[in-house]
Chains A and B, each alone.
Chain A
Amino acid sequence: MSKIIEVHHLFKSFGAMEAVKDVSFYVEEGSLFSFLGTNGAGKSTTISILLTLLKQDAGVVKVNGLTVGKDDDAIRNEIGVVFQQSILDPLLTVKENLDYRARLYKMTKEERLAAIDRVADTVDISSIMQRRYGKLSGGQKRRVDIARGLLHQPKILLLDEPTTGLDPQNRKQIWNTILELQRKTNMTVFLTTHYIEEAANSNFVVVMKEGEIIAKGTPHYLKSQYSANRLMIIAKNPAQLRSQFQTDKLAFTEEHSTFLIQLEKTTDAIVLLAKYEELIDSFEVQKSSLDDVFIQIHNGKDDIHHDGCYEA
């Protein structure tokens, strides 16, 4: 697969604030790419540069072989954007909105009508074409926003926190739309999010913090790299188990009379459980979720939280 977006040593400052510090990454054509980070991590600055809305201080950004800063108009034809906030006109109908935006791409009337029909079909908004954009629900607006981004059949669809502010049901629907779109059209989908569970669907994740990339890889890789497993034991007799662990020189921590033991892998628990079976009242093996991974990447290993996975 070829690299459709390439970012080399990107820098951008606003006054004394360094928003992006030496960021490099690439996106493979046809992939679903997630750009993860909390607010103020530098995601928005990076994508603004990618969208030709901002000029970088240093570094090279290439979109489908075109260089940002040199071939801006051509790049704008390659990328479709779904902005975080609603940018369409509330007083115009969905159809009017799409029509006026399609005109920005020098389409003839026939081309515009065909494009509007096509995108309406793709995101399933045909039934609300005559309604005013301002009167739509959050989920419907988002669909129309996506439709607008698809008008000119871009090679890359960039979505900036597409599900922020949506209820869980709408969030799921929008996600299904995005995933289906990517599967059917093989379009490259680039999205930013601060929800790690959304990034789990993607082919590749880049995590940013304070203007720098602090982790990158497939969701699976990140999970295996940063996740931790532990064994939680409730003892029949805490004092006895404690002294036994101390004699065996087994590293453990104690929280409210439960014993916690860090594991390399979950199966390591089997040996321990067999060994101390007599002393155990109940136990649980916990594997960290992607959320924990995200927090871990951000904060270091100490703060990790666990979700129960394997009940005794």
Chain B
Amino acid sequence: MMAVTKRNILLYFRDKSALFFSLLAVIILVVLYGTFLGNLISDSLPDFLAKKWLLLSWIFAGILAVTSVTTTLGAFGTMVEDRSTEADLDFYASPIKRSSLFGGYVMSSIFVGFIMCLLVLLTANAIFFFSGDEMLTYIQLFKVVGVIGLSVISSSSMILLLVSFFKTVKAFAAASTVIGTLLGFLAGIYIPIGNLPAYLQIIIKLFPTSHSAALFRQILMEQPLQETFAQAPESAKHEFLKDMGVFYEINGSLTSPTFSVLYLIGIAVFFSILAVVLLKRKRS
């Protein structure tokens, strides 16, 4: 399995265009925030302390959530390509188990997603440093890395299922672009959940990536939130957390971090089982 994993990772980083496209959604996101989304969101909120720091943290949390999906998805492109070019025959004719081969695809995409998210995290921390804001503490970094792992694993399990439907690289590339773009809406990243109609809010709350985004926000925004709402009433803070998707309101109360973590684990387990069952059925 390690042989296939290493090979796939190397292929992902060698293939400059695949690398670029897997980051395209992230690049678009950054450009949108930079040009008008950032101002739009900022204008919709009243002025308060540490506003820029708070919003920047919020934005980076969203970018991390998107990255955890799109880079994982991009790395799975190798699997689709191997299948469409029949390069996978060479693996099937070698004495390795099919499970090792699929394990290799999954492991490499998890690794790629993890590394790319770490790069985003480092960039975020560097920007906090250069803009004179407080950097993340070690404990926070540790937590973020944990959430990155969880997020990447759950994304990878969903993508594994998705990928088994694609026969050609073209179809997969088209789907990747659509997914990358939709993702920003479905996880309440382009526009905060509070500004969206009720039916979209329900979809966002169900969408797994929203929960990665929420967890990232909870950690990254911890310090600026303390500063912003030090003097403010509890109800104002509650409203803000709800509208910005830091916590989601389900049945009248805000979701706990544990809920989001369990939700992501549940998604990972469910889709992994589904993918394994489908792959096994396909084989026979």
Contact = CB atoms under 8 A, between A and B. Distances in A.
Interface string B86-106: 110111111110000000000
Consensus secondary structure, chain B interface: helix
B3 A100 contact: yes
A148 B93 CA distance: 12
Nearest to A82: B90
A105 interface: yes
Interface stretch (A26-34, A84-92, A185-193, A200-208): A84-92
Interface residues of A, number: 24
B86 A87 contact: yes
Contact of B11 (A51, A53, A91): A91
Nearest to B87: A87
A148 B89 CA distance: 13
Contacts of B15: 91
B90 A87 contact: yes
A180 interface: no
A76 B89 contact: no
Nearest to A160: B89
Consensus secondary structure, chain A interface: mixed
Contacts of B10: 91-92, 96
Nearest to A50: B93
Interface footprint category on B: 20 to 34
Contacts of A92: 7, 10-11, 14
Contacts of B14: 91-92
Interface string B1-31: 0111011001100110000000000000000
Contacts of A91: 10-11, 14-15
B87 to A, nearest CB: 4
B85 interface: yes
Contacts of B85: 85, 87
A104 B11 contact: no
A44 to B, nearest CB: 11
A53 B94 contact: no
Given A100-B6, A100-B7, A87 B89 contact: yes
10 contacts: A52-B93, A53-B89, A74-B95, A76-B94, A77-B95, A81-B90, A87-B85, A87-B86, A92-B10, A105-B94
The 9 closest A-B pairs by CB, nearest first: A103-B3, A104-B94, A91-B14, A76-B95, A87-B90, A100-B7, A87-B87, A73-B95, A51-B93
